Chain A
Amino acid sequence: MISASLQAGPFDAAAEQAALLAGRTDLGAAVQFTGLVRADAGLIALTLEHYPAMTLAQMQAIADQAAARWPGVAGRIIHRHGRLRPGETIVLVTTASAHRGDAFAAAEFLMDWLKTAAPFWKREEWADGTTRWVEARSSDDAAAERW
């Protein structure tokens, strides 16, 4: 099973992984990815807008697809929304499986589809007072389509 959460506040990546692994002795591999706000020169903050009626359901649908494809994978995805400053976390993907291949593959699948099929939009705030909506990248679509 892979669960999904949507929240404004921060998450504790280590605690999320520990919770995923608690009481399990059948898992031999744990993989974790954290996406962060990178301080590109002059960037003050990112604001993540989302579609309240759709975003979490779409995240869970992506999680369910991964769980169906890799039945032995346990996992959790968390995505934040709202205004985030450089260094803050945006997204967490944590997976575990008996062997590393499935945990790595499921984590990449989850991340690639979160970037291309979950309704979020990033707006950048710059030190000169301007704002800019981040443009979607065709390389992200290509990364998702390879699955």
Chain B
Amino acid sequence: MVDLLYFAWVREMIGVESERLAQPAAVTTVAALLDWLATRSPGHAAALADRTRIRVAVDQRFATPDTPLAGAREIAIFPPVTGG
């Protein structure tokens, strides 16, 4: 099981701020997770359609598409940051 957290317009488009899911065994990387999540609902698909606008943190560390998910407990998905 993994806790998924969504922020900003990713959260608004998916419609929830978090969900706890068991990803299929074949989903072993960030890229594969995004592909799988996009199949879960039209909101997920819309939010994740343009991967150039998606950033991911695995257990509170910035990740890349090939970051492995083994042992991950919390995965956050969000747009590029705009603080400061």
Q: Is A135 an interface residue (CB 8 A)?
A: yes
- Nearest residue in B to A138 (C-beta to C-beta)? B80
Pick the interface stretch among B3-11, B22-30, B38-46: B3-11
B-side interface size class: 10 to 19
Q: Is A115 an interface residue (CB 8 A)?
A: yes
In the complex, the number of residue pairs spanning A and B with C-beta atoms less than 8 Å apart equals 69
Which residues in B have their C-beta under 8 angstroms from that of A123? 8
- Nearest residue in A to B62 (C-beta to C-beta)? A117
Task: Say whether A122 contacts B57, CB under 8 Å.
Answer: no
Q: Is A76 an interface residue (CB 8 A)?
A: no
Which residues in A have their C-beta under 8 angstroms from that of B84? 35, 79, 90-91, 111, 114-115, 118, 120, 140
Minimum C-beta distance from A138 to chain B (A): 10
Interface residues, chain B, with chain A CB atoms under 8 Å away? 5, 7-9, 57, 60, 62, 74, 76, 78-84
Which residues of chain A in 18-43 are interfacial with respect to chain B, using CB atoms and an 8 Å cutoff?
Answer: 35
| Interface residues of A, count at CB 8 A | 28
A10 to B80, CA, bound (A): 25
A121 to B77, CA, bound (A): 12
Minimum C-beta distance from B84 to chain A (A): 3
Which residues in A have their C-beta under 8 angstroms from that of B74? 53
